[in-house]
Structure 1
Amino acid sequence: MLSRIIRADEGVLGVRVYHMLNLGVLWLTPVALVSPPPLTSICDTIIALAFPIHGHIGMNYVLTDYVPKVFGKGARGPARVIMLGVTTATTAGLLKLNMDGPGVTGALKALWTK
């Protein structure tokens, strides 16, 4: 299971999840920005999970293409493990923002308020 998460860009499942998340966050982000408070917290939780997973799979595509060219094929595995750490930290940070702060949507809305 862990190896499938680390090699997220390989296989049909990773591609499907990536494209479903692509459409999901494209639709959910504007909905979250205009939704009333009870629905906003649900949207924030989904966004806090969807954005990092989408980024993790997408960055694994980049790592697969470019790490072997620059550092050699042996560096691909460690780079993917580091990416998993970045994804985990990002997810934890966004969930903490939702629990202890204004939430992902509140933080985005704060960009346009004085």
Structure 2
Amino acid sequence: MLKSTRLIQNIPPSTLQGVFGGYTPNSALVLYRNNNTQQIRSAASSSATGAAPSSSSSNSNASGKIPDPSGAIFQQKIYHYSSMGVAALLPVSLMLPSSELTLVTDCALGVIIPAHFYLGMNSVVNDYIYSVFPKYLVKALVAGTSIVLFTGIVFIAKKSGLGATVRALWVK
């Protein structure tokens, strides 16, 4: 099976930078264990067989290039809990048309749905957009869309409620 790095190895990096936005498949950073210590090295410095790179290569150490994953792990947990919150609260809001619980669920959904949208789209942008300028532009667009979604849900919740509005889509 051909690897993507073999297909593009003869193309100059300046040509690939416009296509991949500074990222080339050969520049991925990989975590290797070497003598019970963790070292982050570039996959480009490893051999074709996939063995861990030797410690003699001085330019392959990328210890300052990978961000701390604790923020991403925290965001992923919030995204996971927000999907559980939507799954639990949306049926309650739809089935109880006029109760005191509907106000609570509508307010909670008014916060949870935009947060879920923002965190989900933010992770998609981080995964698939490599260049710096388009990434910030798309993140600003996602943030703006989240704000519009939040204000729309607040207006709906103030008038008739989120559940009643969704229910009205199927009732004449």
TM-score tier by shorter-chain length is 0.7 to 0.9
CA distance in 1, matches of 2:169, 2:144: 28
Map Cα deviations across residues 82-102 of structure 1 (whole Å, 9 max, x no partner): 211110111011101111x21
What are the equivalent positions in structure 2 for 1:11-26 lying under 5 Å apart? 11-26=72-87
Please report how far the alpha carbon of residue 73 of structure 1 lies from its aligned counterpart in structure 2 after TM superposition. Answer: 3.5
Q: Where does residue 62 of structure 1 map in the other structure?
A: 124
Please report how far the alpha carbon of residue 11 of structure 1 lies from its aligned counterpart in structure 2 after TM superposition. Answer: 1.8
CA distance in 2, matches of 1:42, 1:84: 25
Q: Where does residue 94 of structure 1 map in the other structure?
A: 153
CA distance in 1, matches of 2:94, 2:163: 6
Q: Where does residue 7 of structure 1 map in the other structure?
A: none
> Is the CA contact 2:153–2:162 (under 8 Å) kept in the aligned structure 1?
yes
Q: Secondary structure at the match of 1:112?
A: coil
Q: Name structure 2 gaps, 5 residues minimum.
A: 1-70
Moved over 6 A (4+): none
Say whether 1:79 aligns with 2:138: yes
Please report how far the alpha carbon of residue 61 of structure 1 lies from its aligned counterpart in structure 2 after TM superposition. Answer: 1.4
Provide the TM-score with structure 2 as the length reference. Answer: 0.55
Q: Secondary structure at the match of 1:11?
A: helix
CA distance in 1, matches of 2:155, 2:118: 19
CA distance in 2, matches of 1:13, 1:28: 22
Please report how far the alpha carbon of residue 67 of structure 1 lies from its aligned counterpart in structure 2 after TM superposition. Answer: 2.6
Q: State the percentage of identical aligned residues.
A: 26
Q: Where does residue 4 of structure 1 map in the other structure?
A: none
Provide the TM-score with structure 1 as the length reference. Answer: 0.80
CA distance in 2, matches of 1:90, 1:111: 18
Letter in 2 for 1:27: A
Say whether 1:27 aligns with 2:70: no
Q: Where does residue 103 of structure 1 map in the other structure?
A: 161
> Is the CA contact 2:93–2:162 (under 8 Å) kept in the aligned structure 1?
no
Q: Give 1:51's match in structure 2, choosing from 103, 108, 113.
A: 113
CA distance in 1, matches of 2:157, 2:146: 17
Higher strand share: 2
Report how many residues are paired: 101
